[in-house]
Chains A and B, each alone.
Chain A
Amino acid sequence: MKHIIRTFIILAAALVVVGVAILLSNSLGATRRRGLPTLNSADPGSALFQRGPDEARVLAGFEPNRFLGDLDRGRGSRLNWVGLSTVIRNLVVIAGIVLAVTLVGNTAKHLRRPAHSRQAKEQAGSGSGA
């Protein structure tokens, strides 16, 4: 049990570190490096946006993505939290499933053991703990 929790905490922590690094690099360097406005910084009233949202996105350095709706909005520094939180949420769901199955498996194993051997083990456990 401890291993599961520890492993998933380490994974979540690593993801948070990666996420923060991505966010920092996005907000610090992306716009300047490309020399192009992002959707967050572009003025909706500007000529860039008046050419149409898809063209504006391409010009702003985004990939055209009509089919997946506003998926590529996640590239903005603020909205990347949405993606990171999805990764962490999925990790938590998987950790929950692993924990639940391990608990059920351990309980089933415990109950399958004959009562006398269980009592002996419990007595031995309490004896060594005292």
Chain B
Amino acid sequence: MEKKNKHRSTIALVLDSAIFAAFLVATAPQFSGLAVHEWLGIAFAAAAISHLLLNWQWIAATTRRFLKGLRWQGRISYLLNVALFVDVTILIFTGLTISEVPLRSMGIVLPRQTIWRLVHSLAADLSIAIVGLHLALHWQWVVNTIKRPILKSLLPRQRVPEFGLDANPARKEPQL
């Protein structure tokens, strides 16, 4: 069971790192060019759905406990995640609306409206701040997940309790 959880944490870390790298590149369309920016945005949507599915247990449990018995740190984290979800949804929707390359390659031409471009820019700027906060709240999990295999390979026969080796390594509620 513990091995399964560790494997799951590693998969989550690899996926999250890829999403973060894609996000960073997508925030600078001048860097990648418009076509890469737009295709990356579509891939980002798929990766974000995978990220949600991987953390579905936490989402379901926190939603159930939100109004009763959840600590304020958990509530802040939950609200931040909701804000990030809304922001990313707006970002992808407006991105598709103003898209030039992927939709056109499928023969779909949408009427141009400047408002979507403006909303897309605002949502993109806001997403940098929210992603920063999201990463900050889960930083300890990131460090622990990276450190655990490294420490285990260095100290193969010792337990490392401070990094949660003998605890459930599944993602914990973030602590402020």
Interfacial residues, chain A to chain B (CB-CB below 8 A): 3-4, 15, 19, 63-65, 67-68, 71-75, 79-80, 82-84, 86-87, 90-91, 93-98, 100-102, 104-105, 108-109
Among B8-16, B32-40, B165-173, which stretch is in contact with chain A? B32-40
Most buried by A among B35, B98, B128: B128
Task: Select one of A15, A65, A68, A94 contacting B131, CB under 8 A.
Answer: A94
6 closest Cβ pairs, A-B complex: A83-B31, A97-B132, A74-B30, A101-B136, A83-B30, A86-B28
Residues from chain B with a CB closer than 8 A to the CB of A90 are 24, 27-28, 128
Residues from chain B with a CB closer than 8 A to the CB of A71 are 29-30, 34
Interface flag for B129 (CB, 8 Å): yes
Task: Decide if the interface of chain A is mainly helix, strand, loop or mixed.
Answer: helix
B30–A97 CB distance below 8 A? no
Interfacial residues, chain B to chain A (CB-CB below 8 A): 24-25, 27-35, 98, 100-101, 112, 117, 128-129, 131-133, 135-137, 139, 143, 175-176
- The answer to whether residues A102 and B30 also contact, given A90-B128, A96-B132, A97-B133 and a CB cut-off of 8 A, is no
Q: Report the minimum CB–CB distance from B151 to chain A (whole Å).
A: 13
Task: Select one of A73, A86, A104 contacting B27, CB under 8 A.
Answer: A86
- The answer to whether residues A98 and B128 also contact, given A64-B100, A67-B112, A68-B29 and a CB cut-off of 8 A, is no
